[in-house]
Amino acid sequence: MPSAKHINVPTNDEIDYYMSEGCGVFAIALSSFVSGDVYIISNTAGDPWSRNIPYEITHAFFETNIGTYDAKGQRSVDKMAADFHLSHDQYTRYGPFSAHDFKATFMGNSDKKPIFGGAKYIKKAITLIEQYRPFYLET
């Protein structure tokens, strides 16, 4: 019987940033590899970011026709929300946003946007995805 193929998994240290303020950066990086859209999980009890973004940005993730992904790999939106101690009735899902629209609306290199990050940060996330390509793109 053939042995199962071993897939390297990123460590918590490698993904910590992408599971907090870098979640949008990671979602944009995934869009460099596959077609899909960015979505937001918003804690319904959270504070709105601004008048133009009237909800909290708890977490961003990427969705393809195969499934939903964040820095922990392919998993359900409920599992992603559970990382933030949110049950299904405690969050709202916003989107879809194209990668271009998400970057323009939510990302920047100042406190004027809710998600900090630009090209340098996206490139670093792309490198991580390439390093763990079977985990992120072939499961």
Which band of pLDDT confidence, cut at 50, 70 and 90, is reported for residue 98?
very high
Domain span including residue 65 = 12-137
The residues, ordered by sequence, that sit 6+ positions from 86 with a Cβ below 8 Å of its Cβ are 41, 43, 58
pTM of structure:
0.92
pLDDT score at 7: 82
> Distance between CA atoms of 93 and 77, rounded to whole angstroms?
9
Residue 2, in any domain of the structure: no
Whole-angstrom distance, CA of residue 85 vs CA of residue 95: 21
CB 19 within 8 A of CB 10: no
Residue 19 lies in a domain: yes
Task: Answer whether residue 4 is part of any domain.
Answer: no
Is the residue at 131 inside a domain? yes
Find out whether 61 and 70 touch, Cβ atoms under 8 Å. yes
Looking at the DSSP assignment, which residues form a beta bridge with residue 94? Answer: 40
Asked if residue 23 lies in contact with residue 40, where contact means CB atoms within 8 angstroms, the answer is: no
Summarised one tens digit per residue, pLDDT across range 2-16 is: 545 678 889 888 999
pLDDT band per the 50, 70, 90 thresholds, residue 138:
confident
Per-residue pLDDT tens over the stretch 77-94: 999 999 999 999 999 999
Which runs of E-coded beta strand occur in the chain? 37-43, 59-63, 68-70, 73-74, 91-97, 107-108, 115-116
Sign of CA dihedral 82, 43, 67, 14: negative
Number of folded domains that form the chain: 1
Q: Which two tokens stand for residue 78?
A: 């409920």
Does any domain span residue 66? yes
Position 6 in a domain: no
Distance (Å, whole) CA 105 – CA 122: 16
3-state secondary structure of 54: coil
130, part of any domain? yes
Instruction: Let me know if residue 40 belongs to a domain.
Output: yes
